[in-house]
Each structure stands twice: as C-alpha cells, then as structure tokens.
C-alpha cells in the first residue's frame, strides 16, 4: 500500500513550484531499505533504495534530472490482485525510468513497459517528465488490466492502490485536502513579499507532512473492502498502521522543484521497528540546470 499526491506546472508563477509531491510508502517495518540519498550508480538521481534480497536496487519513488529534464517515478501496489507465477520484481521500473537519460522519453518508456507489463505483479506506475520546452507529461500505467492514462498539468491528482477509475476514499479525501494546501499556498504567494518565501516553503512542507501523517480512517470504503476484506479498515487511513503485522506508513516524502530548478527532497523515515519510536529526517537540496550554458550542480544533505 502507498499513496501519492502531485501538482505539476512546467511554467509556475514567480515563487511557485514546477512540482509539489507528497507520498507515503507503506511497507513491512522490517524490510531492509536505504534512506533517500544521491545514487552511487546514477548521480543525477535521488531516492530511497530497496535492499530486500532479490529486490536490491529497486525503489518505490525517485527523481532524476538530466539534460534539462526532470523524471519522477513512483510505484504503487494494486491491492487484492493475484500474483503471477514467477513474477518479476517491480522496483526497477522506477529505478530505470528515473535514471534514464534524455534519449529515453516518457512516452517511449511507458509504451515499452505496457507491452510487457503482465510479467509483473499488479501495479500502478506514476511517471512525470518536466522540461523547459514543452508542457509536462503525467502518465499512469496500470497492468491489471493493462492501460495507460495521460493527465494534464496544473491540476492536483491523487493515486493509490486501486485503479484511477475506482479510487479509495482516503485518496479522494486526501487529494481534496492536498488541493486545499496547494491552493492556499498559491493564494498567499500572490501577495507575499520576497523575504517571506522561505517561511512559506517551510509552512508548505509542514502542511504536506501533516497530510501524510493523518490517522483518520476513511471507512467504510466499498472498493477497499473488496480488495482487502481482512485489513481494509486498517488500510483506510492515509497514515497506515497495522501493529500486529509490523506494517504501515514507514516513510513520508515531500519533493518540491522551484521555478529555478532547485529541488528539495524531504523524507521522514522510521529508524527502527516501532512507528512510535525514533524517526530519521532527511532534507536534500540540489540545484539542477542553473541556466542553458551551465550544468553546475550543487548538493547539500542534512539529517536530524
């Protein structure tokens, strides 16, 4: 189980963002995972990495920037679907997309994936491509049944562990709250002085993290009950917690890309097996594509 909310605008107003993303990773607490960082084998990519034996190198969420183009990928399980025999690990779908250079465009990548998607367990793959010379592309590929949907930029979207045509109640309600947060930010941005921008970003991040940490159960939910008859009520919150199974929302992520192509990657992730225990906080800043004649990139990382 996972959930993701996104707002994409390739041409934001001054002080605005090309990308506002908030996502929860729901997984077994004991699963071995590397925190968000720059990837050693693809230094233009940032994200966590799955270290589960047999699934090493895959990821659930990553962002890469190369050649003036950002690529963001996220993988969401489709709950309640049968697992194919000898199913291939899905994490590399995101890793390969985020790490791909500008000779691999989003449409070509998804078209190839669609042609072979039935070899994987059921999934939703959210992919985003943001450049400076054309409107952003937002695609959702589902493999059960196989299908590819396109979404327009400058709108708020939410995706979870069901088909886009039958969203869970927590996705419907979470998307509305996400939209309220984004619209409130844009409303304040219109009249805010330049010196207030830093505080506005901090408030935006706080509001998005609070959204991801919401424990309210959006229950009953007919679609979730159909897909997960035993765990449905536990899974109906944005911030999932199933203590008896050692499972829940173990990572909260917020990613922002401003109009000058500076990325902020915020991650709160569990430091141990207890969701009420210690959490590690990571904030990565990276300046991509400073201008058309420069590829200088700056990197800062702080952990609390």
Please report the pLDDT score of residue 298 as a whole number.
39
**Span 229-239, mean pLDDT?**
96
With bands split at pLDDT 50, 70 and 90, how would you rate the model's confidence at 302? very low
- Residue 250, Ramachandran bin (φ over 0: left; ψ between -120 and 50: alpha; else beta): alpha
Q: Alpha-carbon dihedral of residues 109, 147, 48, 291, nearest 10 degrees? A: 50
Say yes or no to pLDDT of 293 above 50. no
Which pLDDT tens digit goes with each residue over 160-210?
999 999 999 999 999 999 999 999 999 999 999 888 988 999 999 999 999
Burial code (b: 16+ CB inside 10 Å, e: under 16) for 244-259 equals eeebbbbbbbbbbbbe
Taking a C-beta distance cutoff of 8 angstroms, is the pair 125, 93 a contact?
yes
For the chain, the structural domain boundaries read: 2-166+244-303
pLDDT digits (tens, 9 = 90+) for 56-103: 889 999 999 999 999 999 999 999 999 888 898 999 999 999 999 867
pLDDT at 194: 84
Domain spanning 2-166+244-303: CATH superfamily? Penicillin V Acylase; Chain A (3.60.60.10)
Looking at the DSSP bridge assignments, the partners of residue 269 are 251, 280
Q: Which residues contact 174 (CB under 8 A, 6 or more apart)?
A: 3, 5, 158, 211, 214, 238
Measured CA distances, 142 to 31, 80, 85, 225 (Å): 25, 14, 18, 20
- Give me the DSSP letters along 273-301: S-TTS-EEEEEEEEE---BTTB---EEEE
CA 37 – CA 35 distance, rounded (Å): 6
Q: How far apart are CA 117 and CA 1, in angstroms?
A: 19
The share of the chain scoring above pLDDT 70, in percent, equals: 94
Q: Which one-letter DSSP state was computed for residue 100?
A: -
Decide: residue 196, CB within 10 A, 0-12 exposed, 13-18 middle, 19+ buried: middle
Strand, helix or coil for residue 28: strand
Give 40-61 as a DSSP string.
TTEEEEEEEEE-STT-TT--SE
């Amino acid at each position: 189980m996972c959930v993701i909310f996104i707002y994409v605008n390739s041409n934001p107003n001054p002080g605005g963002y090309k990308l506002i993303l908030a996502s929860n990773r729901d997984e077994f607490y004991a699963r071995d995972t590397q925190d968000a960082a720059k990837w050693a084998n693809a230094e233009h990519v940032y994200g966590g990495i799955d270290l589960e034996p047999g699934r090493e190198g895959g990821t659930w969420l990553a962002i890469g920037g190369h050649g003036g183009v950002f690529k963001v990928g996220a993988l969401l399980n489709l709950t309640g679907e049968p697992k194919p025999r000898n199913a291939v690990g899905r994490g590399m779908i995101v890793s390969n997309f985020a790490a791909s250079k500008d000779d691999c465009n989003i449409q070509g990548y998804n078209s190839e994936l669609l042609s072979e998607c039935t070899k994987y367990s059921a999934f939703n793959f959210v992919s985003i491509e943001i450049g400076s010379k054309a409107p952003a592309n937002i695609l959702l590929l589902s493999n059960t049944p196989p299908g590819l949907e396109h979404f327009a930029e400058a709108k708020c979207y939410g995706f979870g562990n069901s088909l886009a045509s039958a969203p869970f109640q927590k996705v419907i309600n979470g998307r509305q709250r996400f939209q309220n947060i984004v619209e409130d930010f844009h409303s304040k941005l219109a009249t805010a002085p330049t010196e207030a921008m830093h505080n506005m970003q901090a408030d935006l991040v706080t509001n998005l993290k609070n959204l991801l940490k919401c424990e309210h159960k959006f229950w009953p939910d007919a679609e979730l009950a159909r897909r997960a008859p035993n765990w449905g009520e536990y899974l109906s919150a944005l911030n999932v917690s199933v203590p008896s199974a050692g499972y829940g929302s173990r990572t909260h992520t917020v990613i922002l890309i401003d109009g000058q192509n500076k990325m902020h990657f915020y991650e709160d992730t569990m430091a141990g097996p207890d969701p009420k225990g210690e959490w590690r906080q990571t904030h990565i800043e990276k300046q991509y594509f400073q201008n058309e004649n420069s590829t200088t990139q700056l990197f800062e990382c702080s952990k609390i």
